[in-house]
A and B are shown apart, each in its own frame.
Chain A
Amino acid sequence: MDERLYINGELVDLGESKIVRKLQTNDVAEVGAIKSSFSYTISLPMTSKNKSILDMLSAIGNTSRKPYEVLTCNYIVDGIYLVENGAAIVKESNNTYKVNIIDGGAELSSVLGEQTVRDLDFSEYNHNVTVDDVVDSLTNTSGYIYAIGDYKNETVDDNINVRDIVPSIFVHTIVEKIFEENGITANGDFFTTDSEYLNELVTPSNGYDNDYNDSVQIGNIVTDDSQVNIIKDTCQRHGLVVNKVGLKEYDFIKIDNILDSNDVEDWSNKLSEITNEKYKVDLSKYNYVKYNDWDTGFTRTRPVGGKYYTDAEYYVEIDDENLQEEDDLFISIFRMLKSSRDTSGITKPVYEALLWDDSGEPLEITSYIASVARLTQDITFTSSTDSEVVNNAAILSIEDVKAKDIVERSYTNYQLLMNDYREKTMILKLSPIDIYTLRFDKLKYFKQTGRRYYLNSVQYQAGQTAKAVLIELN
């Protein structure tokens, strides 16, 4: 078996110990975690060639900076690139150099780093506090839209002053900007076709000077959360699995779609042995999906034989009496809307998302998540000089974004997977080609068991059988 490792373009000497790669997707118990495959640490012998490549690291008096740099690496087995444009990090040296290989380049979280949403460029969406700009926004499906809500703790009726309404930003606009400005390629059709996702909004996170004709700088009012958290929150609320497939290139796919798919790979010929079966997953009987403000007085509902839930919290129930009672599956960074007390003449609920206090001072808040709903009644938008009547006004809604909606839309098959949980460890015959073309987003079928499986991880060493962890679909 021809095994080669290139670091910074130079072929290194490999020792007796072979490179062991562990490829994995999200752990099913860590929904929305943005993980990637990586390799174990390899030990490179301290040959003169390797020393030269690492600028004489470990030699007395050396001033090598290599341990403090991310070195590029390619790992090729029998001509097949199993790691392409990966990262090599020298961790330690004693008799050998201990080097960590991270394949496919940096993880998504590393690419995004500490950047926040306000580091993005929203200048194209800047506009003025005018009737025209408010009304024009009503047909937007990206950028921002003026959706009716209670932003000042005042009665909201069908005559709305443009100073009493604010632009909410489409979630997908923020996500697209994160990908675009970081040079990230996001594969999968979720971001372009999922109607519920494309209809999601986040309200501003602070009040602002909004006299008539004032300029509204979207970049100054949009949530200032980290870009990593935005992506993670989106993945969690929509049950997305993220797989790194190249340099700054990631596949995003809904786990429920994977589990429900008929596009299954027959791996019957690859199975050598099933060595182990586990029945416990790191979850609870009731695994809660919550919004940030879940404990702030939402109306509770309790179905017969079920647990309490609200608009801001719902659960994925696992039928296993031996699990602990409850835990959080994830908590969204956003808040959930509650109905306003004061509305007059609006035919749909008006939700409170206060950005100014009663004395008119701007507030800083955690943004709310919402969907866009439409009023079919006449609404008049006014300013000091203009007014216009529309019959397609947008209004903040909780439809499709409630915690229960999230669970029922994105975690139904996931729940089935977790019920009767069976995690099998299998010994597989995988060739370098199999590793190169490995897909976590396709179920695997084994004739030997007559079952389909969700592939969680593969541990592979060139020339050896591979060890895989798969979860049986029931």
Chain B
Amino acid sequence: MAITITKEPTGIYPAYNDSFIEFTSDLADNYYANISIVGITLAFKIYADSDGVYLFNLKESIKVFFNESGFDDSNVFSNDYYKNIEGLYLSKGITITVYSDTTSEQTVRTYEFFKGLVQFGENISENDYKLLCYSEDGVNHSLTYFEGFPFAFDIQKVANGDSLKLYSRNTGNETEEMLATDTGAFRINVDKGEGNNWTSDNFLPLTSGLNRLEIREDGNFKTNLLLTKKENCSGVYLKWFNSKGGYSYYLFNRYYLEDISGESLGQILNNKFNNIQEAKGNHSSIGKSGAGVLTIKADYNRAEYEILKDLLLSPSVQMYTSETANVKGGFIDVFVTGSLPHINKRENNTITLGITREVITANL
């Protein structure tokens, strides 16, 4: 007797895409199956079709594990330049039990997932060490770094005990050994946003402009990172959750339009029972709801376009409260509207966004 899997997610699979398991069983007169997923209390029960084929979609269950903390970045740290992080990679055991009236048979599978999604036609790289940002091939990545503002990048999966180093092909310099203490995603801080960065702390000094970096594991090449460093920056800095399960960053122009608006929550009688000589009015406001809207712009090139594409679709966008490099600020939640028109004939285009942030008001 055996359970034969005819379809299943492979590699490190995007959690927000459909992830079907399809299987059949040799068990005589089998007609239903239980799917147990580690961490979910109750098993799922499904029945075979007329050909005896079972089909189950893991997506809804796997999303639960990734969404426990929503899309906010719960892995921010500033006491070091590298660390294993949680919530972006998952390995799950699935037990499939097929039943007949009298007996059952079982198989156990393990699947790996990352907290992202992939579009139709897009390639799913088999490189575990790919970064959680856009890449055509999962090996070569391009990012823009605005010195003085918080910036990091995440590696999809490292294995417990991996010895990682970053190597600069520009300078021939190499970082100290970065030891993975767990299997899962791994974050490398580039700039802590308070004046501490790779260059100032001599972690891996970067030159202005393009830095050709390699991520190596135990001396073996794993991933390329073309990191463009921009200096003397100021402006509106955004951070957002991208479709690859990581976080992206970009700096918008320091000149923008700001508009504060308020909407009345209603009026009520003020019950002062005054005659006209004393009265100032019969109604009081319950309060107002407020919003501040910034209209911001930025120029971007072809490589940066792929990074910015996720911004308008991201479920979590935050704005840095400091507009000056190396001045400590914090990230606050904002809502984004706008469009990203891209003429691929041009080397550079401009993005215009509306950023809405909540304004706290006093209400009755």
A residues in contact (CB < 8 Å) with B: 47-49, 51-52, 55-56, 59-65, 268-269, 271-273, 427, 429, 447-448, 463, 465
Cα distance A60–B268 when bound, in Å?
A: 49
Cα distance A135–B65 when bound, in Å?
A: 74
Q: Is the CB of B44 within 8 A of A59?
A: yes
7 shortest A-B CB distances, which residue pairs?
A: A48-B67, A61-B44, A272-B268, A48-B64, A59-B60, A61-B46, A52-B64
Q: Is the CB of A61 within 8 A of B35?
A: yes
Cα distance A10–B68 when bound, in Å?
A: 12
Give min CB distance, A297 to chain B, whole Å.
59
In the complex, whether B364 has a CB less than 8 A from a CB of chain A is yes
Provide the residues of chain B in CB contact with A60, threshold 8 Å: 44, 46, 56-57, 60
Q: Is the CB of B64 within 8 A of A465?
A: no
Provide the residues of chain A in CB contact with B265, threshold 8 Å: 463
Q: Is the CB of A271 within 8 A of B46?
A: no
B residues in contact (CB < 8 Å) with A: 35, 40-46, 56-57, 60-61, 63-64, 66-68, 265-266, 268-269, 271, 273, 286, 363-364
Please indicate which of the listed interface residues A52, A271, A427, A463 has the most CB atoms of chain B within 10 Å of its own CB. Answer: A52
Provide the residues of chain A in CB contact with B286, threshold 8 Å: 429, 465
Provide the residues of chain A in CB contact with B269, threshold 8 Å: 271-273
Q: Is the CB of B68 within 8 A of A465?
A: no
Give min CB distance, A277 to chain B, whole Å.
17
Q: Is the CB of B46 within 8 A of A56?
A: no
Residue of A with least CB distance to B283? A272
Residue of A with least CB distance to B56? A61
Cα distance A429–B60 when bound, in Å?
A: 43
Give min CB distance, A282 to chain B, whole Å.
31
Residue of A with least CB distance to B271? A269
Cα distance A429–B56 when bound, in Å?
A: 52
Give min CB distance, B249 to chain A, whole Å.
26
Cα distance A305–B45 when bound, in Å?
A: 74
A-B contact pairs, 23 of them (CB 8 A): A48-B67, A48-B68, A49-B64, A51-B64, A52-B68, A55-B40, A56-B42, A56-B61, A59-B60, A60-B44, A61-B45, A61-B56, A63-B44, A268-B271, A269-B271, A271-B271, A272-B269, A427-B268, A447-B273, A448-B271, A448-B273, A463-B363, A465-B286
Give min CB distance, B63 to chain A, whole Å.
5
Give min CB distance, B120 to chain A, whole Å.
22
Taking A272-B268, A272-B269, A448-B271 as contacts, is the C-beta distance between A48 and B63 under 8 angstroms? Answer: yes
Provide the residues of chain A in CB contact with B57, threshold 8 Å: 60
Partner of B61, one of A47, A59, A64, A465: A59
Cα distance A62–B56 when bound, in Å?
A: 11
Q: Is the CB of A63 within 8 A of B42?
A: yes
Cα distance A263–B45 when bound, in Å?
A: 60
Cα distance A48–B45 when bound, in Å?
A: 19
Provide the residues of chain A in CB contact with B63, threshold 8 Å: 48
Give min CB distance, A165 to chain B, whole Å.
62
Provide the residues of chain B in CB contact with A268, threshold 8 Å: 271
Please indicate which of the listed interface residues A61, A63, A64, A271 has the most CB atoms of chain B within 10 Å of its own CB. Answer: A61
Cα distance A62–B286 when bound, in Å?
A: 45
Provide the residues of chain B in CB contact with A429, threshold 8 Å: 268, 286, 364
Residue of B with least CB distance to A273? B269
Cα distance A86–B265 when bound, in Å?
A: 30
Partner of A63, one of B45, B61, B67, B68: B45
Cα distance A461–B133 when bound, in Å?
A: 43
Partner of A465, one of B43, B44, B45, B266: B266
Provide the residues of chain B in CB contact with A64, threshold 8 Å: 42
Please indicate which of the listed interface residues A48, A51, A273, A463 has the most CB atoms of chain B within 10 Å of its own CB. Answer: A48
Provide the residues of chain A in CB contact with B46, threshold 8 Å: 60-61
Cα distance A162–B20 when bound, in Å?
A: 82
Task: Beyond the given A61-B45, A271-B269, please list 6 additional residue pairs across the A-B interface where CB-CB is below 8 A.
Answer: A48-B63, A52-B40, A55-B41, A59-B60, A63-B45, A272-B269
Cα distance A264–B41 when bound, in Å?
A: 53
Cα distance A64–B273 when bound, in Å?
A: 58
Give min CB distance, A329 to chain B, whole Å.
38
Partner of A51, one of B44, B45, B60, B273: B60
Give min CB distance, B287 to chain A, whole Å.
9
Give min CB distance, B41 to chain A, whole Å.
6
Provide the residues of chain B in CB contact with A47, threshold 8 Å: 67
Cα distance A47–B68 when bound, in Å?
A: 10
Give min CB distance, A459 to chain B, whole Å.
16
Cα distance A62–B36 when bound, in Å?
A: 11
Give min CB distance, B316 to chain A, whole Å.
14
Give min CB distance, B333 to chain A, whole Å.
15
Provide the residues of chain B in CB contact with A52, threshold 8 Å: 40, 64, 68
Provide the residues of chain A in CB contact with B266, threshold 8 Å: 465
Give min CB distance, B191 to chain A, whole Å.
32
Cα distance A272–B271 when bound, in Å?
A: 8
Give min CB distance, A57 to chain B, whole Å.
10
Provide the residues of chain A in CB contact with B68, threshold 8 Å: 48-49, 52
Q: Is the CB of A56 within 8 A of B64?
A: yes
Cα distance A62–B34 when bound, in Å?
A: 10
Cα distance A255–B44 when bound, in Å?
A: 53
